[in-house]
A and B are shown apart, each in its own frame.
Chain A
Amino acid sequence: MLGFLGSRLLQSLLVLLAASFITFTLVFLLPADPARMVAGPSASVQTVTSIRHEMGLDRPFLGQYGAYLGRLVQGDLGRSYKQNTPVSTLLASRIGPTLQLMLGAIALELLIGLPLGIWAALSRGRWPDTVVMGLAFLGAAAPQFWLALSLVYLLAYRFNLFPLGGYGGLSHLFLPALTLGIGGAGWYARMMRSQLLEVLSQDYIRTARAKGQTARGVLIGHALRNATLPIATMIGLDIGTFMGGVVVVESVFGWPGLGRLVWDAIRVIDIPIIVGVVIFSAFVITLSNLLADFVQPLIDPRVRYR
């Protein structure tokens, strides 16, 4: 097992190395000249040339990549063109709000998805099952930006239940977290349903029933626990799917996190910020995949690695 985890660790490092190479190549192939962007449109050719030399942009491709990788390992993601601040500082100041948003979304998708999935499984083939599975399918296909606008219109404008946007307490968090979590809620409902049906068909459930355990007792004491275990290990993977949605959701709700940072950077074409968030999210995703592999055998002893 240690061998397996070791090789997974090595694999993750390789993926990150390749990912850094891809992002670097992208920026290298960029049609716009970074030195010109830093210097501004009115700077003289000499200034641009000296800035280019200072930034090391006149060196060959692999030399530049080596230098980039060296800085990356130390957590240096470059400087913003427009704000002249290190990208890592900007990222660090935005992680908190985004983390809050993601935790809120995870809480909501579990609170909505799991009970609905249990209900669907227990009423298999009857109308609640059909309705829940239909909703789960719709939720997964709904465009997030439209969902966001609809929720703002209905729950904020029409019924004044929540603030229109901005950063603040739980009432500010609810709508953006719901937008981010609805698709996942559908996914968890489907997962919960299929897991529970699978567990309920096992022999030990029949044994428990045969020994006189009530249906409710079997469900709570045996079935639910075993059905939720595999689901619990997948929560970490949500962070990856959330990374993209965060840009849309934060831009609609004015939530000051990483997504909003990207959106603001898009509008002024501040490439280092955009690329910084890209490489950061690749790092987070690889890390959460790895973490899921480590945690899985701890939570669920049935999982064994070859």
Chain B
Amino acid sequence: MELLRFITCGSVDDGKSTLIGRLLYESKLLYADHLAALEADSRRVGTRGGELDFALLVDGLAAEREQGITIDVAYRFFATEARRFIVADTPGHEQYTRNMVTGASTAEAAVILLDARKGVLSQTRRHARIASLLGIRHVAVAVNKLDLAGYSREVFNEVSASFGELAAELDFDEVTCVPMSATEGVNVVGRSELTPWYDGPTLLQWLESVDPATARGGPSRFLVQWVNRPDATFRGLSGRVLGGTVKQGEAVRLGSVVSTVARIVTMDGDLEEAPTGSSVTVVLADDVDASRGDVVAAASDPPGVADAFQAKLVWLHETGLLPGRQYLAKIGARTVGFTATKALGLNEIGVDNVHFDAPVPFEGYRTNRDLGSFVVLDRLSNATVGAGMIDFALSPTNVRWQTLTVDKKARIARNGHRPCVVWLTGLSGAGKSTIADLVEKTLHAEGRHTFLLDGDNVRHGLNSDLGFTDADRVENIRRIAEVAALMVDAGLIVLVSFISPFRAERALARDLVGDGEFCEVFVDTPLTVAEQRDPKGLYRKARRGELANFTGIDSPYEPPVEPEVRLDTTALSPQAAADAVVARLRALGVC
């Protein structure tokens, strides 16, 4: 028996939940106790006047029952004599694009519902585009509620024709339109006499015949998930075949190394070959240094390796994508640093140039959904915030790291001290610049090589093109972090005095330099105190509404969680605060 994964999309009003309930009911997958619960629920909260309301069956979460809408992806299962099905049931409204994208990512076919009386709406276009974007090649259009249009052949033909026009612009292999009434069960499972003019398949017949196309042709691709070493005599690579068929004796390549597949191991015995989708353990003939995330590929035709791509991005989180911000991307079995260049909001889809901080083996999403897809994760909250599909690698740049003779070590020896970034963060008026100035004075007097990067001063020059939106603040700090890192390479103790309100960018600044070369100083002054001091009159302006996006007033400040130094300026004099910073630098072995 084969397995088919499909997605259903359509709005609440199109009768999607009813259709799924009907499929379960008609394929006898509804058990008597489910049915009894459904009958009781239908009487209690149903919308069909006490008749069986199949939507209640599918809308599982309590919140959804209350609101009467489907707000998440639900997975349903049913089987016929011919096939086993996994249905991803996803909500229709635009604000749930992320749910549809999620459901579509693992589907091999799509059922797009629409209301025959309304025809192809902008929502239908969006569903079709997302299905196409996510690589679904087989689509059935359920022209539903035809009972309310008198089972009119003309209405059905009209709707089919207008979907045909839409599909012509998209990437489907096959589109089948089915005249249907889910509530009445017309053409869902059995053929109906109410549509004698229709000679195509019923929806279930279509689902039983569509090709899941899980056997991916082409050269072999095997993703290493886990290095399997039970003892000194066995070293296998446990993972999954993501393309072609891996064969025993096949010549394979792993990065720049070439070897041969010696064995394909499973608990049921060795295999001669493993098709796309199998989870097996491969043993190579040579003692190759392979690790998680590597791709063992046909030697004659390995996948590309790159770190910059054009990709389609879908944003999944309430907090929008900020260009230049450091995220993580999980691709295959690797997690790497990730940045994008364009802003995106929740549920938006865009094409962007994206950068990974390490090269990864990949294939274009159209060729291979598994090696061409990635998810974007937030570094701090760990939330899954975005999803991406690779179009192609951007041409490899010719900028390479130049090996230099005079390195950081040599500079440390000459300077007599180690370099470091001393990063002072805090609200405007907290006292950052005053303290930074005193710290530098002390260090300078002791003969240390120092430099002070001050927020206001830098905004006059290097960052004069940037404003105070969240996106500009991210870019502002990114540039400062890079400059500070260069100065550390030059052997300096760099004092950075910036509000730097976001944890993510301060984390980036820390990542850019080595361990022990970053000292985060939280100049902790409560908003009320800073506002009282207001040395530049900025708070007054902000309160009057003359300054927008002012940190602490109408723009957030995220305090450090574990700074190296926390200075309570309500208790410490500026000099005492500066002394505390210098003492910490000595403790860190900087000076």
B is a partner of A: no
